[in-house]
Structure 1
Amino acid sequence: MSLSIFGFQALWSPYFLGVIIILTGLYFFVTVARRDRFKVSEPLQRSEAIYFILAMILIYVIKGSPIDLMAHIMFTYHMVQMAFLLLLVPMLLIKGIPWWVWKAVLEIPVVRSIFKVFGQPVIALFVFALMFSVYHLPVLFDTIKLNETYHGIFTFILFMSAFFMNWPLIHDVEGQPKMKNLYKIGYIIANAVLITPACALIIFNPEPLYATYTDGETWLKAMELCVPISTLAGLSLSGPELFNNMTPIADQQMGGVLMKILQEIIFIVVLVRVFVRWWREEKKNEADITEKALREFQAAKKQSEQY
């Protein structure tokens, strides 16, 4: 059955697209037109603008395009959505917003207090792993998917936990604590390990876990999160199997596997970049130490010749 039966609004979320466009315009207004209002600022770099635009495009694709609708029909799409929303979008936003904007935001007392706690690498790491695991507990997952308010609140909390998890890895804000590159490597590996149990539970469970993807009545109720109720009332639907040829257990397993694969790919890319930066710094330090030792040797030799 075609997804077009759900209508244009459910497929393309025009209001959400409007929000994305407004946020993008506000970004350039603040970083370009009103840059002089900041105590410290620099011209907006092309790379920063690209990162931010990519973040906005990705947010719309995974939350405003038909992919979001499919995420309510197939668990596989849900997990792909989660992978990009939690592991890639925060990185793009952190890199896309100039450091001097972050610095101004972090000077706000409330924000500074929040970052002081949740910006700590160990806390950020365990909070994200906990939130991700708790979110995918069947009872809580189905409850959240059936209530728009719960879904919005928990998605926001989960996203913020992902943001703080990525913050120590990515940020370049002057005056903020930074992890050494060697520590970042261990941090990335620890992150991959901590969310593995949740993915394993999803992949290796012999039975479908989520009623919102298996029970027709529950699924139809969950669809109200992305399809207008008036549209659903005019449709005769029995369940997600009308749009999905996979069995529920195969769909669940595929979702868990893809989540883990995408996580590994994203983390490997970050790991390689961190390792290269660490290697370059080590080589630079080695060259500086050698040069310093050579100068000291020459100075000592010259002094001994004078005597």
Structure 2
Amino acid sequence: MEFELDRKTSVPYYLQIANNIKQFVESGFWKSGTKLPTERELSERLQVSRNTVSMAYKELQTEGVIVCHQGRGTFVSEQDDKLKQQSRKERLLKIIDVSIEEAIQLGFSLDEFLDITHIRAREKQEMLTQLKIAFIECNEEQINYFVNELYFDQGVSILPVLLSDLKENTESYNEQLKDVDVIITTFFHLEEIKDLLKNLNVDIVPIALELQMETVVKIARFSQETKIGLACKSENFAEKFKNAISKTGINNIEIYYTTNTSEDELINFVNSVDQIVTSPGRKKYLEKIISEKKDIVEVIFKPDEASLNLLKTTLVDLKQKVRGKIDEH
């Protein structure tokens, strides 16, 4: 099998490369453990920039199709997520079995073991509820997605803060945020937030947000000179969407947006464009008010893989501190 790039289509090269690799894996042409060409090798072979190949590999890593080992190279993943999840469960069961055997050897009954472990788990859960994360962003849509869609372990609470509110009520928010364990924001707002919260002794962790690959693929398939209408709640979100689309190399479309909430105005806006895209949370409402059937694409920005790993590491560090407090009791 060979790579196939359609240089006439509007679909970005990195998406075509990623789809080619998926086909190789799904067909069995590239099996688990197969080493992929380096970014330089593949970019020279396909006559595209190295950054294009890097973007394709990054997307595939996020989806779990490939895995990168520093110093060794990039490989087709050995196991899918389901198998990894089963493996984790099996390891946990072995730990529990060993603990039961040791408890019995110490003279405890199974009922006593259950009571003790239940109490211990409750103690740790109560301590974990003290983990508080504040997420600060400039647009309401992104805050809602972060709070509602990103999964955090049970016991982690999130305080959403709109940047404009923080600017208007800096003193009040400094008081609220002094009790959080960590503040999360985007790289774009990092320095501004550091300045606004300079009197707080709280770690601020920056993350990078990227347009979800599924959203990019759907938009790339729109025909030439398509008029896209974005229904969102803020101008910040609209500008962010425009910039993200521009960076993907999709340049065959015109983008218009509205932040209007009036039903009549929204219907008029929908009728004036060819395709509708919407910020998170508005899709169902638009489907209700639009009589003519139109495909509505939901625009989703999510933390990139490196940022998700950073968030996980941050939470682990916080939990270790909590466990230290538990062990002291």
Structure richer in helix, relative to its length? 1
Name the TM-score class by shorter chain.
Answer: under 0.3
Structure richer in strand, relative to its length? 2
